Amino acid sequence: MSFETTTADVLSGVDLSGVTAVVTGASSGIGWETARALAAAGARVVPTARTPEKATECVASLREALDYDAGTRLDPGVVELTSLTSVRGFADELTSRYEQVHLLINNAGVMATPFERTSDGFELQLGTNHLGPFVLTNRLVPLLEAGAAAGAARIVNVSSAGHQASGIRWEDPNYERTPYDKWEAYGQSKTANILFAVELDRRLGGRGVHAFALHPGMIGTSLGRHLSRDDYAELSARASRSPSGGLPARKSIEQGAATTLFAATSPELAGQGGLYLSDCEVAEPAGWASDPDQASRLWALSEELVEERFEP
């Protein structure tokens, strides 16, 4: 496995019959490709979008790309991660529709957005990329545990090498008292994805549910829709000061979704969890993103922010 690995390479010869997978943000980009590849390998997939119209369009495009049998294994889902009311409603819907979930792919996200707050008052990137998935994942734990009892279950958080831009801003995570920096806010939210996987695996690994976070690579998708030419110049400048010394080469959509599928399905990762992956291999995140004490602290902060506690 390497930078060039594609979804077809990861799932070659893999049979996911009997597996139920939930993929958030599946209406475009690597989320769409993740949903397509899972369905093609035999899984029943719940691809989600933000509105009923987008969910219908998403499933129609996926069915067009798949053969008839695979197309019948798609059940559209609607969730708006900027609204905890929507998140909780979607979790309740899944619980009423399914007895078990084997794969939860927390793929949906935003990047470097102008300053905005979610309907619950959170800074948009933290709310969308972490707090919405935090509530959704925890509310689906009973389904994931049922999936683990039937074989195995995994939670996959799509993070980014952009986590290196910032750890958690413990004193002001929602930019209520300090000036907003969209790249710092993005970095914080992506660090949260990794820490969340670390703490999830500590809590659930003994029950057969393992969690991973990953960097998909640099891919030209709608994730960058908020970026101007100046933003790209700043991104390049920041990358030049990083250990890598510059921006990486771009990946195709099929290459970008490969590490997600590796995290979700690879037998090499059986019994493991709490890991950060890149290019379909285990990688090393920034120190602040792998610290178990910070992972536990983030869990407590997240519960406080969403005003909901979850079983240890």
State the Cα–Cα distance between residues 241 and 239, nearest whole angstrom: 5
CB atoms within 10 A of CB 178: 11
| Token output for 182 | 């969209």
Hey, what domains does the chain have and what are their CATH numbers? 7-304 (3.40.50.720)
35: phi then psi, degrees, rounded to nearest 5: -65, -45
Q: Any idea which residue has 């972490």 for tokens?
A: 130
pLDDT at 219 over 60: yes
Buried b (16+ CB within 10 A) or exposed e, 2-41: eeebbbebbbeebebeebbbbbbbbbbbbbbbbbbbbbbb
What does the pLDDT look like over 246-268, one tens digit per residue?
566 889 999 999 999 999 999 99
The secondary structure of the chain in percent helix, strand, coil, rounded to multiples of 5, reads 50, 15, 40
Q: Which of 98, 180, 186, 276 is catalytic?
A: 180
For the ranges 120-124, 144-148, 222-226, 291-295, which has the lowest average pLDDT? 222-226
Give the model confidence (pLDDT) of 103-128 as tens digits. Answer: 999 999 999 999 999 999 999 999 99
Q: Determine whether 161 is exposed, middle or buried from the number of CB atoms within 10 Å of its CB (0-12, 13-18, 19+).
A: buried
Active site residue 180: yes
pTM of the predicted protein model: 0.93
Are the CB atoms for 139 and 91 separated by under 8 Å? yes
Which residue is it, tokens 């369009």?
Answer: 57
* Percent of the chain topping pLDDT 70: 90
Phi-psi region of 159 (alpha: psi -120 to 50; beta: other; left: phi over 0): beta
pLDDT at 89 over 80: yes
Average confidence (pLDDT) over 122-137: 98
